[in-house]
Amino acid sequence: MIQPGEGDFRAFSAFCPHRGCMVKSIGDSAIRCPCHGSSFDLADGSVLGGPATTGLIPKPLQIRQGRIEIPADE
């Protein structure tokens, strides 16, 4: 989960669509994959740089009683 702006929360799959490596770093307005160097936009998960050709999969989130919840995958 990330917060690209105040009060704006987003959640994406933690796995790069290129080869399934776990993305690990966030910085310079991008989420980065350490395996092959793909980068993804913080706001929408779209590809900023390859080799990935598709973006990170968005995950739904809810704010309940001041807590951010991301439902578990079924």
Residue 74 has pLDDT above 50, yes or no: no
| C-alpha distances out from residue 7 to 2, 4, 10, 66, Å | 11, 9, 10, 11
pLDDT band at 65 (very low <50, low <70, confident <90, very high): confident
Domain that holds residue 6: 2-69
Dihedral of CA atoms 60, 4, 64, 55 in degrees, nearest 10, equals 10
The neighbouring-strand residues paired with 63 are 68
Mean pLDDT for the chain overall: 87
- When divided into structural domains, the chain yields a total of 1
- What would the pLDDT profile of 10-29 be if each residue is shown by its tens digit? 889 999 999 999 998 787 78
Residue 34 falls inside a structural domain: yes
* CATH code, domain carrying 63: 2.102.10.10
Percent of the chain with pLDDT over 90: 49
Residue 74 has, within 13 A of its CA and on its CB side, a CA count of 1
